[in-house]
Amino acid sequence: MDAMLRKEIEGIKADPDLVEFVLAWHGVIGGTDVPFTAEKESDAYQRKIKRWTQRDWGIEWWWYWKVISNECWKARRQIVLKKNLFKMEPRGPNPNHRPRNEAIWNAVFDLRNYFEKKTGRPQMGLLGRLFFPKEQEVTFHGEWHDRKDWFKDENGHERLEQLEHFYTCHHDRIIETLRTGIPFYAKWESAAPISPSVISR
C-alpha cells in the first residue's frame, strides 16, 4: 500500500495495517496458486493399488480401477493449492467461465463494513482508489452493485469481528508477516525448531 493511501486511511481514524491484513487474508496481496500435487503416481505405487483393488473387489475390480486411475488421481492433479500470507486451502479446477475475483470482492465487503464501523460511511471512493486506482469511482460503484448480492447471506458484522479478533490476538506476528512477506504459518510448516520467543507470542 502506498504512503498516500496509508495517510488517507489514517485520516479517517482507521488502521492501515488492519486494512493491509484484510487484503492479505483474502489473498489480494501475497497470494499464489501452486499445484496441489505435481508428480504422477509411480509405476510401483500404481501396481500396488491395482493389486489391492483386485484383492478387494474380485471379478469387478476393473471398474473400480478405472475410477481410481481416471477420476481420483486425475482430479487430484487438477486441484490447486491456494496459498496466501495467512491461509492455505485447496481449490478445484478453474471453472470454464470467467473467474469471479472472489478475493477482491471479499476484501471489499469486509473493508466496507470496517469503514462503516469506524466512520459511519463505507468510504467507496477510498475503496475504489485502493482496489482499482485507474478506474473512476462511479465505475467501481457499479462493479460493487453488480456483486453485492453475493454477500446477501453473509453476516458482515460477525465476519469483521472475527478478523479484528484475530488481528488483535496476533498483532505482532501479523505485522511481521506483512513486512517480511513470510507466510504466517511458515514456522509451523518448516522443520526448523521454533524459538521460545515465537511460542510466547
pLDDT in tens, 129-142: 999 988 888 888 89
| CA 71 – CA 148 distance, rounded (Å) | 36
Which residues, including other chains, have CB under 8 Å from residue 139's CB and lie 6 or more apart? Answer: 128, 132
C-beta neighbour count of 163 within 10 angstroms? 19
Parallel/antiparallel/unpaired status of strands 32-35 and 80-83: antiparallel
pLDDT, one tens digit per residue, over 34-92 is: 666 666 677 788 788 888 888 888 888 888 888 887 777 777 777 777 778 887 777 76
Q: Are 184 and 86 in contact (CB under 8 A)?
A: yes
Collapse the DSSP code of 98 into the 3-class scheme (helix H, G, I; strand E, B; otherwise coil) and give the result: coil
In DSSP terms, 33 is beta-bridged to 82
Identify the bridge partners of residue 115 per DSSP, sorted by sequence position. none
**Nearest to residue 12, comparing CAs of 152, 147, 114, 165?**
114
Inter-CA distances, 32 with 26, 29, 68, 85, 88, Å: 11, 9, 29, 9, 10
At 192, the pLDDT band (50, 70, 90 cuts) reads: very low
| Cα gap 8→10, rounded to integer Å | 5
Any idea where the domains of the chain sit in the sequence?
3-33+98-189, 37-78
Which uninterrupted H or E stretch holds 32? strand 32-35
pLDDT over 60 at 200, yes or no: no
The arrangement of strands across the sheet holding 32-35 comes to 32-35, 80-83, 88-91
Render pLDDT for 82-101 as a digit per residue (tens, 0 to 9): 778 887 777 766 665 555 78
User: What pTM does this model have?
Assistant: 0.69
